[in-house]
Structure formats: structure tokens, C-alpha cells
Amino acid sequence: MYVIIGNSAAAIGAVEGIRQMDESSQIVIVSDEPHHTYSRPLISYLLLGKTNEQLMKYRPDTFYENNNVTLLAPHRVTAIDPTEKTISLSSESKINYDKLLVAAGSSPFVPPMTGLDTVEKKFSFMSLDDARALERAVDDQSRVLIIGAGLIGLKCAEGILGRVRSVAVVDLTDRILSSILDEKGAAIVRRHLESKGVSFKLGTSVDNFEVNRAALKNGEHVEFDALVLAVGVKPNTGLVKALEKDKPLVNRGIITDTKMRTGINDIFAAGDCAESFDISLEANRVLAVLPNAYMQGETAGINMAGGNAEFNKAMPLNAIGFFGCHVLTAGSYVGDKIERSEGETYRLFFAQDNLLKGFMLINSPNRAGIYTSLIREKTPLDNIAQMIFDDPSLAAFSRAERKSMLGVVRYA
Amino acid sequence: MRRIYVNEEWCLGCHLCEYYCAFAQTGGASMALALKDKQINPRIHIEDAEKYDSKGAEVHFAVSCRHCVEPYCVKGCITGALSIKDGVIQIDQEKCIGCYTCVLSCPYGCVAPADDGKVMQKCELCLNTTSGEPQCAKNCPNAAIVYEDRG
């Protein structure tokens, strides 16, 4: 029996991976959320009214039935016993596994902040229930304060802005989206968000809260009716960490190899709780983005079912948009910069050792995957016409290379 | 499975495939009536490269979805809007929210915004049209685009 802890992209990838190898054996998914699998990044689109709970289902209603999956939800897993090969649930029942996947995701990280306990309406923004709770708590007179100008905080700002009186965002860093953008890129997106009505207090943090008033360290005060905490996330590694004896099983995320195996036999890990080898940085790190989660999960699933799959294409990959301003980034920002920007269009590339390592594209999304592929396939840049940095095209490749792209069956 | 393949050396750069692609999507009976004065947004694109091959001829070629066996666009799709059915990569535009993850994933640049820019579109081998078979290949005057089984 296959057991999967988690019910998001990595878990679904694992089911689909297992089913490539094994059409019938039972799969059990244990999830602490009482929902059909849904797309987590869509919760901001739900607030915007661009999707609904039916459309945001990550797989069709028939998914579990068609794949012979038993969904146990809501149930929390409290422990793994790798000797007995069981997991324990909070209901005190136990489930046996032959192969186990930990796809437990991540949780909001909330640093200690003075007076936070006096704030009545405070929310995270990571789950469907979070989004619904926030939605219920605000109206068109609400002032919303968001702590954190990262991907989650700003998607929340976009989602909620049209429903409330005001949205202010505070971040300790002096620019927004600091994990994926440099100063110049961040300024473009910030101007766009400001033009839509979001206000920012950057380079400062909350000194203390007092009911519905935040005192910032820069001396300013912000009054609010609802508080969203989007400072960061931490991988849910506890179940595996508890099994650590001689060798480490967890760094920042659960340590995995390219087959998504953990350090313990028959236990795999995938998704936001796991680390993988970032081919653009050539180092292990947590890559908490959905495409990686799915592909890690699929790889784990194939291997759990006796196959031989490797996921060796992991890298950061972010496609995010705010009110029509599209930000696409990939890879790592190392090496020499190549810039092709104009006005509010930002195109910055990073090259090292004749390889493309990363890029940021703002308001210039089309055909960006051609660049992603250069990083992923480690294509030597001196084999490609330099015009590719002006405009992504297959014309920049040699005719022979193009024939292999357009004239034969492509696996990816 | 039959897929679209491109014979670059035969491409005239006439762009007819783009018009037949756009026309197939309208379901209309007359191309002139359906496309007259319209800005077309086809799912196949001709690249007219500003460069020349070894014989001095201009380089043109068509690019459309490769219907990859292990597609990054489908695996990376955050909504589940992209799926593979009988080897054909399809998009459910009702589920799509236009996040551009597929655009960031496709090595060939073959997923692109639909007319309103809010959802994506891609070649579905004309299975989503009433024409039944890929009209780009059927109407290419020089066999630079073919629809055939190469394994």
C-alpha cells in the first residue's frame, strides 16, 4: 500500500507517477484540510473573483475514484514508525505503508511580535480556509495591513484590494519581492501596485501591535481592521526530523536525492517540505514552487512503484502577475548581467561559464520558456545567436538544433 | 501518434498556416468573411529570421506545439487547466487564470495568450475545431508543415 501525507501538487504528482507503473494497488492520501485537491496559488484569484471553488480544483471530481485513491481528510499525521512501517493519525489509528511519501508542504512562519496576541482579526494566506476567513472578516470599509511584501503577501494584496478601503504592506527589506527581484525590477512592480492603490512601508518592521494599531520601528503608525501575516514560510519537516539519529535527515527542508528518496528506506519526500538540487545554483535548496512540487512528486511516485525516475531539472521558476503586470523569473542570479530593458519593460539575464543561469522578465512574458530551456538544458551560449536576448526565438539556434526541436517526437 | 512536423527547408514564409489556423478557430464557412479586417492571433507562428542559410536563402519556419511526451507545461500548470488526452495537450480555458507558468515552461514558446490576454491558448491539433485535422498542415502549399506519425 502506498501512503501519501499531503494532498496538493506533490501528492497528486505522486499519484500520477505511481499510476504510470502500477494501475491498481491502493493509494491512501492523508490531508489535514477537508477539501478536494485544489490549487493553492489560486486563493488570491478566488478573492478576485477570477475562479471559484469548483474551477480551482487541481484535478477533476473523479480523480480519487478513477485512481483508486482513498482520501482521509481532515486527519493529521502525528508520527512515522519506519520499523513497523506505520503512520499514526491524531485519531489514534494507525495506517500501514509499503512506500510512504511525505508531501506535507509548508506552514506560515510568524516571528514573535510584541502585542500580536491583542490583534483580533489576524490571518495567514496559504490555504483555501485562510482566504475564506479573510474574505468573511473584511468589507468595503476595512483597512488591511499585510506584513510581508513577498509573493504571498502581494498576491493577497492584489486579491483583496478591490474588496476593502485600503491595503498597506510592510516589509523589513527595502524592496518588494526581494526573493525574486533586484532593486530596479522591484521598483517597476512597486510603481504598478502603487498606481492601483496599494501602499508600502518598506525597510521597516512592526515594533508592536495594540489591538488594531501597528507601531512601526521607523516611528510611523498604521491603523488596520484586518492583519495578514505573510512574513515567510517554513517547510513542514517535523515528522521526518523526529526520526533523525546518526545522520541528518533534514537541513532547511527534508534532504532528498534525485529519486526523491529520504535517508530512510521506503520513505520519500516531495514538494515544499523537501530540498532538491537546484541545477542553476548547483546546490541543494528548498524550491517551493508548484512545478517543482509536481515533478518531484511524480518522480517519487514512479520510484515508489518500482520504476527508475530521476528529477534532475529542479530550479526556481516563478510566474506571477499583479493587475496585468507579469513577472517571470527563473534560475539563479549569478554571473555576468545582460540587460535589455526599456521603460517599464525589464529584461535582465545572468550568464556564467557560457551558460544562462537565470533571468528576470517584467512586462515581457512572451515565449519566456525558450530562456528557461537554455538554463535547464545547459545550452552553451556561444552556439546561439546573441539576438536571443532581444527577442526569444528558435531562429537563434542552428538549423540542425531546430530540426531536432521541430522535426522529431519531443519528450520535453 | 500523428503530430505536426516542420520541414524548414520547404517553408516559403507565406504565413498561410497562420491564417488557416485562425480561420479554423472561427468555425466559419468563408475565410474572407471570418478574417477580413481582423488582427489574427494564431496558434502556429512563422519565424522570419533576419538571417540567411548557407545558400543565401532567407530562413523561415513554422513553430507550433510539439505535444511533448513529458510536457513541462502540463506538469507545471498550477490550475490543472493543461492536460494530456490521447497524446494531445489540451487547455481548459475556463480553468486557466493566465498565470503564464506554462509560457515560462515551454521550450518552444508555443503557449501564448488568447485574444483577451487573460487566458492561454495553444495548438490542439484542430481537435477543438470543426475542421477535424490540422488546417496548417492541410493547407501548406509546399509541405513545409506536415501532420504525420514519426513514432
d(CA A346, CA A338): 11
d(CA B99, CA A322): 10
| Residue of chain A whose alpha carbon sits nearest to that of B102 | A369
Q: Model confidence over A121-146: pLDDT tens digits?
A: 999 999 999 999 999 999 999 999 99
CA angle A284, A289, A295 (to 5 degrees): 80
How do beta strands A99-102 and A267-269 pair? parallel
In DSSP terms, A223 is beta-bridged to A213
Per-residue exposure over A339-353, b if at least 16 CB sit within 10 Å of its own CB, e if not? eebeeeebbbbbbee
Say if the Cβ atoms of B69 and A411 lie within 8 Å: yes
Tell me the CA distances in angstroms from A244 to A81, A90, A247, A258, A346, one per residue in order: 12, 21, 7, 20, 45
The minimal CB distance from B70 to the residues A39, A402, A412 is found for A412
CA angle B97, B99, B103 (to 5 degrees): 120
Q: Is the pLDDT of residue B16 over 70?
A: yes
| Residue of chain B whose alpha carbon sits nearest to that of A318 | B101
Cell 480523480 found at: A63
Q: Where are the domains of chain B?
A: 1-64+125-151, 68-122
Say if the Cβ atoms of A407 and B106 lie within 8 Å: no
What does the pLDDT average to over B53-58?
69
| Residue of chain B whose alpha carbon sits nearest to that of A321 | B99
Q: Model confidence over B61-115: pLDDT tens digits?
A: 999 999 999 999 999 999 999 999 999 999 999 999 999 999 999 999 999 999 9
Say if the Cβ atoms of A412 and B69 lie within 8 Å: yes
Q: Model confidence over A37-48: pLDDT tens digits?
A: 999 999 999 999
ipTM of the complex in this document: 0.96
Q: Do B1-64+125-151 and B68-122 show the same overall fold?
A: yes
Q: Is the pLDDT of residue B51 over 80?
A: no
Q: For residue B72, which phi and psi values (nearest 5 degrees)?
A: -65, -35
Q: Tell me, what's the pLDDT at B52?
A: 64
Closest Cα of chain B to A219: distance in Å? 38
d(CA A11, CA A9): 5
Q: Tell me, what's the pLDDT at A412?
A: 86
Q: Is the pLDDT of residue B55 over 90?
A: no
Q: For residue B114, which phi and psi values (nearest 5 degrees)?
A: -75, 180
Q: Tell me, what's the pLDDT at B50?
A: 72
Say if the Cβ atoms of B107 and A372 lie within 8 Å: yes
Is A249 in contact with A264 (CB distance < 8 Å)? yes
> Which helix (H) or strand (E) segment is B35 a member of?
helix B31-35
Residues of B in contact with A321 (CB under 8 A): 98-100
The minimal CB distance from A368 to the residues B6, B62, B104 is found for B104
The minimal CB distance from B105 to the residues A291, A326, A405 is found for A291
Say if the Cβ atoms of A410 and B68 lie within 8 Å: yes
Tell me the CA distances in angstroms from A380 to A114, A353, A373, A376, B2, one per residue in order: 52, 9, 12, 11, 32
Say if the Cβ atoms of B79 and A56 lie within 8 Å: yes
Provide the chain B residues 41-100 that lie in CB contact (below 8 A) with chain A: 47, 49-51, 53, 59, 61-63, 66-73, 75-76, 78-80, 94-95, 97-100
Tell me the CA distances in angstroms from A13 to A72, A233, A237, A301, B30, one per residue in order: 18, 22, 19, 7, 44
Residues of B in contact with A366 (CB under 8 A): 103, 109, 112-113
Closest Cα of chain A to B54: distance in Å? 10
Say if the Cβ atoms of A405 and B72 lie within 8 Å: no
Say if the Cβ atoms of A39 and B80 lie within 8 Å: yes
d(CA A156, CA B82): 25
d(CA A106, CA A111): 15
pTM as predicted: 0.96
Is A87 in contact with A97 (CB distance < 8 Å)? yes
Q: For residue A37, which phi and psi values (nearest 5 degrees)?
A: -55, 130
Residues of A in contact with B122 (CB under 8 A): none
Q: Tell me, what's the pLDDT at A68?
A: 97
Residues of B in contact with A60 (CB under 8 A): 80
Residues of B in contact with A412 (CB under 8 A): 68-72, 107
> Which helix (H) or strand (E) segment is B104 a member of?
helix B101-105
Say if the Cβ atoms of B66 and A406 lie within 8 Å: yes
d(CA A326, CA A79): 42
pLDDT tier at B57 (50, 70, 90 boundaries)? Answer: confident
Residue stretches of chain A with pLDDT short of 50: none
Closest Cα of chain A to B124: distance in Å? 16
> Which helix (H) or strand (E) segment is B3 a member of?
strand B2-6
- Per-chain mean pLDDT for chain B: 94
Closest CA to A372 of A361, A386, A385: A361
- Domain B68-122, CATH: 3.30.70.20
pLDDT tier at B49 (50, 70, 90 boundaries)? Answer: confident
| Sign of the four-CA dihedral A55, A4, A96, A300 | positive
For A340, how many CA atoms within 13 A lie in the half-sphere containing its CB? 13
Closest Cα of chain A to B53: distance in Å? 9
Closest Cα of chain A to B99: distance in Å? 6
Please give the biggest Cα pair distance in chain A.
Answer: 67
| Site from B70, B103, B120, B146 to mutate, A interface, most A CB atoms within 10 angstroms | B103
Closest Cα of chain A to B96: distance in Å? 9
The minimal CB distance from A39 to the residues B5, B8, B78 is found for B78
| Sign of the four-CA dihedral B111, B66, A260, A280 | negative
Q: Is the pLDDT of residue B56 over 80?
A: no
- Domain B1-64+125-151, CATH: 3.30.70.20
d(CA B96, CA A364): 20
For A367, the grid coordinates are 515565449
